[in-house]
Amino acid sequence: MLTETADPTLELDPAAQTRWIRRAAEVCRAAARGDLEQRLLHIDTQGDIGALLHAINHLLDMNDAFVREATASLEYASQAKFFRRVLPEGMLGSFRRAARSINSATQTMDEKTQALREAERRRAALEGEFQAALALVEGLGAASKKIGEVMDVIRSIAKQTNLLALNASIEAARAGDAGRGFAVVAGEVKTLANGTATAITDIQNQVEATQAVTRDVIAAIERIWETVRHESGA
């Protein structure tokens, strides 16, 4: 189950966040190749990145369950036997929670922008803090870019789920009356996949907005740092 805890004090440093995002991309790419067994294990961050990692695990669980249920149901339908209902819910809710995490990250960036404006008024005494802030924001920018890459991979998984639902509908049609009920379930899964794709687009928009804010913050810090260096004679 996802957690919406986004306490900045619980987040890892930028380097650790980047490692987690890289690992998430590897797991998602494996899933896109058809390997639904891999998971992100021993997640040790509870901030925005942690919420995203848990969302990816949940998505993979739902896809794995769907593939298993769809395979069994098609087999039963072809034999005119009772079939279990494919799980039709869960993925979209995961992406909605992930979207809320991205929104929280965007709000955090806005707060940091305000903090930098205050730092500009005290720049003569805060040179060291400016350097640290620049490194932090650059790390967040890199993490946002990695999140965008992960979203691309997840979008690919959603497309594959849609294709799987289409194939299931075809197989159900071949099964005749015995597959009619499963065709309804396949239609629901297709609708869910389309909804997931829409949610992914929303998340991608939030990521792009975060990246834009990050670029603005980096530019602002660099301007302030140049002013500090000039006034301090560095």
Collapse the DSSP code of 82 into the 3-class scheme (helix H, G, I; strand E, B; otherwise coil) and give the result: coil
Has residue 90 been placed in a domain?
yes
Has residue 95 been placed in a domain?
yes
Number of domains in the chain: 1
**pLDDT, tens only, 156-207:** 777 777 777 677 677 667 767 666 566 666 677 767 767 777 777 777 777 7
Residue partners of 50: CB distance under 8 A and separation at least 6: 3, 5, 10, 11, 43
DSSP string computed for 12-27: PPHHHHHHHHHHHHHH
The parent domain of residue 220 ranges over 8-232
Contact criterion met (CB below 8 Å) for 143 and 18 = yes
Can you tell me the distance from the alpha carbon of 95 to that of 90, in angstroms, rounded to the nearest whole number?
A: 9
Confidence of residue 153 (pLDDT cuts 50, 70, 90): confident
| pLDDT value at residue 82 | 46
Has residue 3 been placed in a domain?
no
Judge if pTM exceeds 0.75: no
Flag whether pLDDT at 83 surpasses 50.
no
**pLDDT, tens only, 116-141:** 676 566 655 666 666 677 677 777 77
Can you tell me the distance from the alpha carbon of 16 to that of 186, in angstroms, rounded to the nearest whole number?
A: 40
**pLDDT, tens only, 6-25:** 444 445 577 777 888 888 88
Confidence of residue 86 (pLDDT cuts 50, 70, 90): very low
Has residue 2 been placed in a domain?
no
